[in-house]
Amino acid sequence: MDLIEISKIVIGLFVLLFILQNYYRFRERKNFKIIFGAFFLLFLGWIFDYLDYLYYSVLNIIQHTLLAIGFIIMAIWFWKEFHQGGKNEHNRND
Amino acid sequence: MNIIGMIDSIALLASILAVIFVYTGKWRKSNVIVRLFPIILVFINIFDTISNFMNLSTIWESLSPLSEAFQLILPIIWFFFLYTLLQERTTQKIKEEEERYLKAYNRAEFYKDLFVHDINNILQNIHSSTELSKIYVKSKDNQEKIEELFIIIDGQVKRGLKLISNIRGLSEIEKNEVNVKIINMKPILEQAIQYIRNSYQKRNIEIMVNYHNHSREFFVQANELLLEVFENIMINSVKHNDKEDIKIRIDVKKTKNKGNKWVKLEFSDNGIGIPDEKKGRIFQKRPFRREYSSGMGLGLSLVKEILQLFNSKISVHDRVKGDFSEGSTFIIEIPSFDKISD
């Protein structure tokens, strides 16, 4: 299980690096900060998932809470993206 | 139910909501990966939630390796999802650039057409007049004819200047460099009338202005380009008029419509008029205008573009209902205000 958790963190780290590397392009997309926030919380959750052996009772709750908040934020992003429109922020320059 | 199970249920509910948001919204416009992403997350969350509720069951024991595999592919799915978002934006940006270039190309073509047609006409008229002057100058009896030719040349130069001013006006609108404010319309109208009188001194023009509502000032939401509007409408009345005495009547009044205040201007002339079939397209830029645009080329299309900028309206009617040959009436409605803006 540890190997899976570490692999998840490592792949997640690569995804995070990918986001940071392309941040200026992602930024042009409206509401990107919301989905980035969701991913970041999930990533933190994965880290806590690995660390929870240190103090399981508390860290495990934190991990699951972070994941749940991450999913809620993600749902908000989907609402904004599919119901309020506005794929990007270019309109202000047009 | 344990606390972890409850938290996981919230996560599951949020991911189900995400799916609902996608498929009740504008999902057809989005990429398939973006659409599938929340569905995959729902499946992963279902496994997670089950793991907390059914930790001891034998069914879960058999499904556990599958859940672990799902956990591992979670960041990979996120990567594909984010990569798709990036690609979507790139594709959209390319499309926007294409549209922008096409617009710029069409604009350049329009200006080119305009210059080729109108400047060519202007230069042709100036050239003919100078050629005739060369002939007339040989005899002292032709002094009057030479003066007339100079007036023609002067008129053509003014026409060229007006063309440039119109193009500049359009260009400013297209670049969104125009600021709209609250201004008094009256001096602008008077300035435009003066311009028409000065430009067509050889023609007998009678311009009558009636200010209704006993108002001294008419504050409207506009800017200096309003001068172009008034000038172009009156130039149109003069150019397309075969009468010896050109009559232009301008009625200015304040009106109310659905709670909004307007300043309504009616420009009536005794010109050749506009047949019904042409009324709808006189404000178009192209391609219809060219066939009978002997004036400033883009005068009335500029008028419409400027008025749109002011959230104003323009329409054209027969001065005498049912008989277009008696002249036209251009009706302009501009949003009205009580006081000047700071």
* Chain B residues close to A4, C-beta within 8 Å: 68, 71-72
Identify which of A41, A48, A36 has the alpha carbon closest to the alpha carbon of residue A70: A41
Q: Which residues pair with B331 in a beta bridge?
A: B266, B315
Identify which of B51, B76, B320, B336 has the alpha carbon closest to the alpha carbon of residue B221: B336
Q: Is the pLDDT of residue A1 over 70?
A: no
The bridge status of strand B260-269 relative to strand B323-337 is antiparallel
Give the whole-angstrom CA distance, residue B238 versus residue B269: 8
Higher pLDDT, A82 or B51: A82
Q: Which residues pair with B262 in a beta bridge?
A: B255, B335
Q: Which residues pair with B255 in a beta bridge?
A: B262
Beta strands in B109-218 (DSSP E): 181-184, 204-211
Domain definitions of chain B by residue range: 3-101, 179-342
> Mind listing the pLDDT tens digit for each residue in B67-115?
677 778 888 999 999 999 888 888 888 998 999 898 888 777 767 776 7
**Residue B105: count of CB within 10 angstroms of its CB:** 10
Contact B21 A75 (CB under 8 A): yes
Find the CB nearest A68 among B10, B78, B86: B10
ipTM: 0.87
Q: How many CA atoms, within 13 angstroms, populate the side-chain half-sphere of residue B242?
A: 4
pLDDT at B61: 62
Distance from CA of A66 to the nearest CA of B (A): 9
Crossing angle of helices B32-53 and A56-83, in 10° steps, is: 150
In this prediction, the residues of chain B whose per-residue pLDDT falls under 50 are 287-296, 342
- Note the CATH architecture for domain B179-342: 2-Layer Sandwich (3.30)
**Does A78 reach chain B within 8 Å, measured CB to CB?**
yes
Give the whole-angstrom CA distance, residue B310 versus residue A26: 36
Contact A64 B85 (CB under 8 A): no
**Does A22 reach chain B within 8 Å, measured CB to CB?**
yes
Output the CA–CA distances (angstroms, integers) from residue A27 to B78, B84, B96, in the order listed: 17, 14, 17
Give the whole-angstrom CA distance, residue B183 versus residue B225: 11
pLDDT at A93: 36
> Mind listing the pLDDT tens digit for each residue in A39-53?
999 999 989 988 888
Give the whole-angstrom CA distance, residue B67 versus residue B170: 63
Give the whole-angstrom CA distance, residue A18 versus residue A14: 6
